[in-house]
Amino acid sequence: MSEYSAPIRDMQFVLKELAGLADIGQLPGCEEASEDLVDAVLEEAGKFATGVLSPLNRIGDQQGARWNDGEVTTAEGWKAAYTQFSESGWTSLAGDPEYGGQGLPKIVNVAVMEMWKSANMAFSLCPMLTTGAIEALVLRGTDAQKATYLPRMISGEWTGTMNLTEPQAGSDLAAVRTKAEPQADGSYRIFGQKIFITYGEHDMTDNIVHLVLARLPDAPEGVKGISLFVVPKFMVNDDGSLGERNDVHCVSIEHKLGIHASPTCVLAFGDKGGAVGYLVGEANRGLEYMFIMMNEARFAVGMEGVALSERAYQQAVGYARDRVQGTEAGVRGGPKVPIIRHADVRRLLMSMRSQTEAMRAVAYVVAAATDVAHNHADEGERARAQAFVDLMIPIVKGWSTENSVDIASMGVQVHGGMGFIEETGAAQHLRDARITTIYEGTTAIQANDFIGRKIAREKGMTIKAVVEQMRAVEVELAQHENEEFRAIRAALAAGIVAVEEAVAYILETYGQDIKAASVGSVPMLKLFGIVAGGWQMARAALASRRQIEAGSTDAFYRNKIHTARFYADHVLSQAPGLAYAVIHGASGAWALEDDAF
Provide the annotated active-site residues.
440
C-beta neighbour count of 224 within 10 angstroms: 13
Element spanning 132, H or E: helix 121-140
Dump strand ranges (E) for 172-217: 179-182, 188-198, 208-214
DSSP tag of 103 = -
Using the minimum distance from each CB to a second copy, give the nearer residue, 34 or 325: 325
CB burial readout 151-185, b (16+ within 10 A) else e? bbbbbbebbbbbbbbbeebeeebeebebbbeeeee
Query: What minimum distance in Å lies between the beta carbon of 434 and a second copy?
Result: 6
**Is 567:351 a contact under the CB 8 Å cutoff?**
no
Closer CB to a second copy, 144 or 343, in the complex: 343
Write down the least CB distance from residue 542 to a second copy, Å. Answer: 17
Residue 378's SS3 state is coil
- The residue among 117 and 353 lying less far from a second copy, judged by its C-beta, is 353
Type of residue found at 73 = T
| DSSP state letter for 424 | G
Nearer of residues 184 and 555 to a second copy, judged by Cβ? 555
How far apart, in whole angstroms, are the C-alpha atoms of residue 584 and residue 505? 10
Measured between alpha carbons, how far is 423 from 318 in angstroms, rounded to an integer? 15
Whole-angstrom distance, CA of residue 84 vs CA of residue 114: 19
Q: Taking the alpha carbons of 160, 281, 271, 222 in that order, is the dihedral positive or negative?
A: negative
315 membership: H or E segment, kind and range: helix 286-322
Q: Which is nearer to a second copy, 240 or 588 (CB)?
A: 588
In eight-state DSSP terms, residue 49 is I
Distance (Å, whole) CA 7 – CA 5? 6
Minimum gap (Å) between residue 87 Cβ and a second copy: 32
User: How far is Cα 487 from Cα 351, in angstroms, rounded to an integer?
Assistant: 16
Residue closer to a second copy, measured from CB, 63 or 187 = 63
Smallest distance from the beta carbon of 198 to a second copy, in angstroms?
11
Residues 213 and 190: their CA atoms lie apart, in Å, by 10
For the chain, first and last CA: distance in Å? Answer: 42
Pair 12, 39: CB distance under 8 Å: yes
Q: Taking the complex as a whole, how short is the minimal distance between the CB of residue 181 and a second copy, in angstroms?
A: 26
**Least Å from the CB of residue 410 to a second copy:** 10
Which of 92, 424 has the CB closer to a second copy? 424
CB 222 within 8 A of CB 174: yes
**Closest distance to a second copy from the beta carbon of 435 (Å):** 5
